[in-house]
Amino acid sequence: MKQKLEEIKKNALAVLENAVDIETLEEARIKFLGKKGELTAVLKGMGQLTKEERPVIGALANEIRSTIENHIDTKKAEISQKLEEMKLKSEVIDVTMPGRAQKTGKLHPLTKVMNNIKNTFIGMGFEIAEGPEVEYDYYNFEALNIPPNHPARDTQDTFYITDNIVLRTQTSPIQVRVMEKTKPPIRVIAPGRVYRSDAVDATHSPVFHQIEGLVVDKGVTMADLKGTLEMFIHRLYGEDTKVRFRPHHFPFTEPSAEVDISCFSCGGKGCSVCKGEGWIEILGCGMVHPKVLANCGIDPEIYSGFAFGIGLERIAMGKYDINDLRLFFENDLRFLDQF
Amino acid sequence: MNLPMSWLSDYMDIDVTPKEYSDKLTMTGSKVEGYENMGENVENVVAGKVLTCEDHPDSDHLHVCTVDAGTGEVLQIVCGAPNVKEGIIVPVALVGAKLPGGIKIKKGKLRGVESYGMLCSHDELGITEDMLGYEPEYGILILPEDTEIGTDIKDLFGMNETVVEFEITSNRPDCFSIIGLARETAASFNKKFTIPEVKFTENDENIADTISVEVQDKDKCKRYCARMVKNVKIGPSPSWMQERLRACGVRPINNIVDITNYVLLEYGQPMHAFDLRDLQDKKIIVRRASEGEVIKTLDEQDRELTADDLVIADGKRAVAIAGVMGGFNSEVKEDTTTVIFESATFDGASVRLTAQRVGLRTESSSRYEKGLDYNNTVPAVERACQLVEQLGCGENVGGMIDVMGNVKDMETLPFRPEKINAFLGTDIPTEEMVKYFDALGIKTDLENMTVTPPSFRPDLEGEADIAEEVARFYGYDKIPVTLLSGEATCGKKTERQQMQDEVNELLNAQGMYEIYTYTFTSPSIFDKLNIPSDSNLRNVVKISNPLGEDTSVMRTTTIASMLDILARNYNYRNASARLYEVGKIFIPSEKEGELPSEPVKITMGMYGDKVDFYDIKGICESLFANLHVENVKYEAVTNNSTFHPGRCAKISVGGKVLGIIGEIHPAVGRKFGIETPVYIGELDFENIFLNINTDVKFKELPKYPAVTRDIAMLVDKNVPVAEIEEIIKKASGKMIESVQLFDVYEGEQIPEGKKSVAYSAVYRASDRSLTGEEVQKVFDKVVKNLENQLGAQLR
């Protein structure tokens, strides 16, 4: 009997050794270990054995069973792995073929730049203020120290609705509205759409966007103005950007300045982008004129502040190398898809 | 304003390069736009005399000339100009000469004859007609007979001059003058600045014996000075004067006119010269024009005036529009013998309005309108007299008529150096500030701590203005850089601004591209959109001075803007488009004189890619779901003429309209040039915002299993599925978890006029497993209600 068992083991292991698929393994399991299998058949003759032989043969039978089972499992794992490898081999694809587009849309480039600017100022403790686009002459001009017949009105070709209602020519009227409603400390930016009666061409549009900034508090200095705007410019254009504050004139700030940055195209050496100057003008700013503070009910003897105005299109054109302002309002998908 | 750099040496010793000069002045507030040396590209061109001139043996238009150009030898030069002849003096470009445009002159052969240089026209040298002061004949430039042979052409035309171009801001009328810029220059470079003394002799007559001046409007005319010159000999002005005028872009005319222009440039004071013969009754009256009064100005145009315009008149008629332009009837002529110089100060706003009304902006009006210094009239007219004497072109009559109008003296301002430093964030010593003030002509009184600005600086009205003067000359670049101190503020967006960000994200995520469109539009869009003639939308905010008809009203709907952009993309052959805009419309106020309201609309538009109504509806559903706007209702709209009558829905929550979506009426689409179905949605930002459920709370995840029941039925074709859904929900009570439409079918095997609709209803209780009987009981009620209310037949 022992011999028979050994033979089963030998035969089984030989079959398993040569097996190349799962079916053969299963057949082998049934043939050798199944209820009607060879091992069972042998064990059915156990009754004829002596009392002493029985446990020995029993143990041997169990050992052979588990040996065969182990072999089946090992072989099964081996074959499965091989099969999987073969399958994977047959599934090779060309990964250089184009991907299948998943439809998502995009923000307009002006919104992208605007968001960037908003986030920078929010990080510096600014809130975002808004105001009407159809605005009283008072807020757009008079309260900003631009009385009727002031020459500064010449440079801002204004669309009029009535004698005292205009399409705002700047976001500065929001300054006045904020100061009328809010007590210092004030730190706001006011982005928005503005209108000037300019015919459309590559660098002019009757509709464009500005971002106004206003800070009013006790003891705000021109040095603070420089620090705040330098920080903003470094966030937007990089830490290496040089910043130049150049005296200028605006009716609603005194002292006033225009701010130039070292040309982002040539780094300041002079090129066609900066017209050889090495500098590019990006915004206007200044200390809020005491008359403007007083017009809004804020005592200029106690409080001081600064304001600035940034042209959004100009910043976006510089950032993305866009050479024609009209593209922003044409909304050709081939344009919108690039940002 | 152009400044020839050599002019500065009349007032100070200065020697800097144009680059250094421009950088410095830019940083003290006089922005330099650029500088130009006119002779930069011209070298080795001299005056030469044509000794002989013969026809070229082998050409019908070329000439062979011999030329003496002062080089010590006679040059043979071939010339093609028709006006070349023996004896004339002309510009000669020698071998090795440079001309504008990078041209270099080499020795050459023209049709076999050697040529050692080139005779030049004014164009070839970059000399303009303005620089010449006349229109030269075609061909080479013929120079005056007395021109010395061998003289560098650049010296003849003042082409060695560097001219700096300034952008002058409107608050600095004083800088529209050479003296003003020189004063800024001196202060910037810390140089001593002196205006040379003005001296001249007068005869023993008195102007007052010849003519009288009456100022009727003393508000519009703040000062009127007049001087008289007799025995005038009209002729050209000397070349030094012509060169300076040309360098500033002013064309020389004759000595008297040139003197007035020279003084205008130098002092910034507009001047005018009248021919005394033409002043009737020998009177000058400064008065308002009568309504409709017509005057022919120097440019020989008739100008009609109003009673708001100020004129200079004689006893009978207007002879000049004050501050704008002189009259043709009294201009200086070839045979003028006596002139009256006018040097006056007119009100800036008045000149500005008059110049606008008559459509004339002159060197004179552009200076007046910024507000000129009434103390400048006397020095200016005296300078003119000095120049008359210097040029020897007339005899200065004694005395000056000087009539004062209503003027204001400059206010004395407090001087608080510590306040200035606190304002600027600097630590500038008082004596440093005083130094800047001295250079600018601001008087300092250190005993009373006050400053008094000079009358030519009306822009210095308060302490902030004084602080700016300190900052400019201390240097903006030297002001320290500090960060905001004081009470900390929390930067944030409002809830509406946050919703706008979310809308952007959600629409982007659904494949929608954001667009920006114009907020003004054409009044014709209402017809284009098939909007009824009595619609409120046609009540618009109108622009009174629009660029054109198609941008003349503020929009009351965003649909046309969206259709324009879709049409543009369609025409560009972009196969499909999914666009949206968050933008304003403008609704006029019912009250006169009040601002319109400016509601924000979220506008969506799409075509192509087989999109249909349910795509745009799906986008809305997803938008509302993500914003937590709940219980949104969609109802069919059949009477909105902009939309397809069978594919349009109104969206609302609890009676509040959130917007409208649908397929654009094909007729409207065609009017915009789109030949494919277009889907548009116009949603109201504010109403969406107000319906956001801000109180979103976590719901326990289900612990007990759900029971799903499917139901298919036949109903009338025109029953909206929303009704079926409503009945299922209502009949199911609170056990219902969801109702999902999974099939709608019409056609084969379905009776005419009917449709088959199938729903999957999911029931669940939060506290137990539902039993079959429980669900069946509810479901029976659902079936009964569907049968009773809709006549549904279960399948």
Domain assignment present for A203? yes
CB contact under 8 A, B545 and A160: yes
CA dihedral sign of residues B681, B686, B687, B691? positive
Domain assignment present for A103? no
CB contact under 8 A, A331 and B515: yes
Q: Residue A326, SS3?
A: coil
CA–CA separation, B321 and B334 (whole Å): 23
pLDDT higher than threshold 70 for residue A86: yes
Percentage of chain A beyond pLDDT 70 is 99
State the ipTM, two decimals: 0.84
Using a CB-CB cut-off of 8 Å, the residues of chain B touching A131 are none
* Backbone torsions φ then ψ of A195, nearest 5 degrees: -130, 135
CA–CA separation, A337 and B652 (whole Å): 33
Q: Which of A41, A58, A90 marks a domain boundary?
A: A90
Q: Which residues in chain B (582-621) have CB-CB distances under 8 A to chain A?
A: 584, 586, 593, 595-596, 598
CB contact under 8 A, B479 and A245: yes
Domain assignment present for A97? no
* Amino acid (one-letter) located at B241: M
Write out the two tokens for B548: 């054109």
Q: Residue B710, SS3?
A: strand
- CATH code, domain carrying A283: 3.30.930.10
* Amino acid (one-letter) located at B683: L
Test mutation, A134, A285, A328, chain B, max B CBs within 10 A: A134
CB contact under 8 A, A224 and B422: no
CB contact under 8 A, B485 and A136: no
pLDDT higher than threshold 90 for residue A165: yes
Same domain? A74 vs A133: no
Q: Which of A55, A90, A125 marks a domain boundary?
A: A90
* Backbone torsions φ then ψ of B446, nearest 5 degrees: -75, -15
Q: Is B508 on the interface with A (CB under 8 A)?
A: yes
Which residues does B477 contact at the CB level (< 8 Å), separation at least 6?
A244, A245, B27
Q: Which domains does chain B have, with CATH numbers?
A: 2-38+161-189 (3.30.56.10), 43-156 (2.40.50.140), 207-404 (3.50.40.10), 413-474 (3.30.56.10), 495-690 (3.30.930.10), 707-794 (3.30.70.380)
Is residue B396 within 8 A of residue B206, CB to CB? The reply is no
Q: Among all residues of chain A, which has the CA nearest to that of B512?
A: A105
Q: How far is A244 from chain B (nearest CA, A)?
A: 7
Using a CB-CB cut-off of 8 Å, the residues of chain A touching B586 are 133-134
CA–CA separation, B99 and B93 (whole Å): 8
Same domain? A123 vs A193: yes
The DSSP code sequence of B750-794 is S-TTEEEEEEEEEE--SSSPPPHHHHHHHHHHHHHHHHHHH--EE
CA–CA separation, B273 and B464 (whole Å): 41
Using a CB-CB cut-off of 8 Å, the residues of chain A touching B465 are 254
CB contact under 8 A, A160 and B516: no
Q: How far is A45 from chain B (nearest CA, A)?
A: 54
Task: Note the maximum CA span of chain B.
Answer: 131
CB atoms within 10 A of CB B21: 22
Same domain? A139 vs A255: yes
Q: How far is B664 from chain A (nearest CA, A)?
A: 20
Q: Is B541 on the interface with A (CB under 8 A)?
A: yes
Using a CB-CB cut-off of 8 Å, the residues of chain B touching A152 are 170
Domain assignment present for A102? no
Write out the two tokens for B214: 């009456």
Is residue A135 within 8 A of residue A160, CB to CB? The reply is no
Q: Among all residues of chain A, which has the CA nearest to that of B498?
A: A128
CA dihedral sign of residues A325, A328, A333, A334? positive
Question: Which of A164, A255, A336 faces B513 most closely, judged by CB atoms?
Answer: A336
Q: Are strands B443-445 and A207-218 parallel, antiparallel or unpaired?
A: unpaired
For residue B655, which of B682, B693, B687 has the smallest C-alpha distance? Answer: B687
For residue B480, which of A242, A233, A261, A227 has the smallest C-alpha distance? Answer: A227
Q: Among all residues of chain B, which has the CA nearest to that of A101?
A: B511
Axis-axis angle for helices B495-509, B613-627 (nearest 10): 140
CB contact under 8 A, A134 and B554: yes
Write out the two tokens for A335: 């344009």
Q: Is the peptide bond before A185 cis (omega within 30 degrees of 0)?
A: yes
CB contact under 8 A, A221 and B551: no
Same domain? A168 vs A261: yes
Q: Is B523 on the interface with A (CB under 8 A)?
A: no
Which residues does A116 contact at the CB level (< 8 Å), separation at least 6?
A236
Burial of A92 per CB tally in 10 Å (0-12, 13-18, 19+): exposed
Same domain? A37 vs A85: yes
Q: Is B519 on the interface with A (CB under 8 A)?
A: yes
Is residue A91 within 8 A of residue A55, CB to CB? The reply is no
A170-210 pLDDT tens trace = 999 999 999 999 999 999 999 999 999 988 998 899 999 99
In SS3 terms, B398-419 reads as CCCEEEECCCCCCCCEECCHHH
Q: Which residues in chain A (204-263) have CB-CB distances under 8 A to chain B?
A: 206-207, 215, 217-224, 226-228, 230-231, 244-249, 251, 254-258
More confident residue, A33 or B347: B347
HSE, CB side, 13 Å, CA atoms: give it for residue B190.
4
Same domain? A307 vs A246: yes
Domain assignment present for A100? no
Is residue B315 within 8 A of residue B281, CB to CB? The reply is yes
Question: Which of B26, B471, B568 faces A222 most closely, judged by CB atoms?
Answer: B471
Section A221-234 average pLDDT = 95
pLDDT for the residue B4 = 93
CB contact under 8 A, A105 and B511: yes
* Amino acid (one-letter) located at A76: K
Domain assignment present for A329? yes
Write out the two tokens for B527: 């017809």
CB contact under 8 A, B170 and A152: yes
CB contact under 8 A, A160 and B547: no
Same domain? A293 vs A175: yes
Is residue B151 within 8 A of residue B47, CB to CB? The reply is yes
Q: Which of A90, A125, A146 marks a domain boundary?
A: A90
pLDDT higher than threshold 90 for residue A157: no
Q: Which residues in chain A (74-93) have CB-CB distances under 8 A to chain B?
A: none
Q: In sequence order, what E strands does B262-315 have?
A: 271-275, 283-288, 294-296, 302-304, 310-313
CA–CA separation, A34 and A47 (whole Å): 20
pLDDT for the residue B207 = 96
Using a CB-CB cut-off of 8 Å, the residues of chain B touching A329 are 516-518
Domain assignment present for A196? yes
Q: Among all residues of chain A, which has the CA nearest to that of B543?
A: A161
Q: Among all residues of chain B, which has the CA nearest to that of A248?
A: B29
pTM of the model: 0.83
Same domain? A12 vs A118: no
Q: Which domain holds residue A42?
A: 2-90
B713 beta partners: B757, B794
Reported as a pLDDT band with limits 50, 70 and 90, residue A154 is: low
* Amino acid (one-letter) located at B177: S
Q: Is B422 on the interface with A (CB under 8 A)?
A: yes
B602 beta partners: B582, B683
Number of domains in chain A: 2
pLDDT for the residue A65 = 87
HSE, CB side, 13 Å, CA atoms: give it for residue B314.
18
Burial of B753 per CB tally in 10 Å (0-12, 13-18, 19+): exposed
Q: Residue A260, SS3?
A: strand
For residue B332, which of B390, B377, B403, B384 has the smallest C-alpha distance? Answer: B384
Which residues does B548 contact at the CB level (< 8 Å), separation at least 6?
none
A252-300 pLDDT tens trace = 999 999 999 998 778 888 887 777 788 889 999 999 999 999 999 999 9
For chains A and B, count residue pairs whose Cβ atoms are closer than 8 Å.
240
Q: Is the peptide bond before B379 cis (omega within 30 degrees of 0)?
A: no
HSE, CB side, 13 Å, CA atoms: give it for residue B140.
26
Same domain? A73 vs A135: no
Q: Among all residues of chain B, which has the CA nearest to that of A208?
A: B518
CB contact under 8 A, B519 and A133: yes
pLDDT higher than threshold 80 for residue A74: yes
**Cα–Cα distance list, B391 to A243, B72, B237, B274, B347 (Å):** 50, 36, 7, 19, 32
If you average pLDDT over every residue of chain A, what do you get? 90
CB contact under 8 A, B464 and A333: no
Using a CB-CB cut-off of 8 Å, the residues of chain B touching A115 are 501
With tokens 């439409």, the residue in question is: B741
Q: Is B97 on the interface with A (CB under 8 A)?
A: no
CB contact under 8 A, B543 and A125: no
Test mutation, B489, B497, B563, B622, chain A, max A CBs within 10 A: B489
Same domain? A187 vs A65: no
CB contact under 8 A, B27 and A246: yes
Same domain? A12 vs A82: yes
CB contact under 8 A, A105 and B513: yes
Task: State which residues of chain B have pLDDT below 50.
Answer: none
Using a CB-CB cut-off of 8 Å, the residues of chain B touching A146 are none
CA–CA separation, A308 and A318 (whole Å): 19
Is residue B745 within 8 A of residue B751, CB to CB? The reply is no
CB contact under 8 A, A290 and B462: yes
CB contact under 8 A, A105 and B507: yes
pLDDT for the residue B316 = 92
Section A130-135 average pLDDT = 96
Rounded (10°) CA dihedral B647, B652, B657, B663: -10
Is residue B561 within 8 A of residue B555, CB to CB? The reply is yes
With tokens 């089963």, the residue in question is: A8
Domain assignment present for A101? no
Q: Which residues in chain A (107-136) have CB-CB distances under 8 A to chain B?
A: 107-108, 110-111, 115, 118, 121-128, 132-136
Q: Which residues in chain A (33-62) have CB-CB distances under 8 A to chain B?
A: none
Question: Which of A122, A135, A149 faces B493 most closely, judged by CB atoms?
Answer: A122
For residue B711, which of B731, B695, B691 has the smallest C-alpha distance? Answer: B731
Same domain? A268 vs A295: yes
CB atoms within 10 A of CB A6: 12
Which residues does B448 contact at the CB level (< 8 Å), separation at least 6?
none
CA–CA separation, B135 and B153 (whole Å): 18
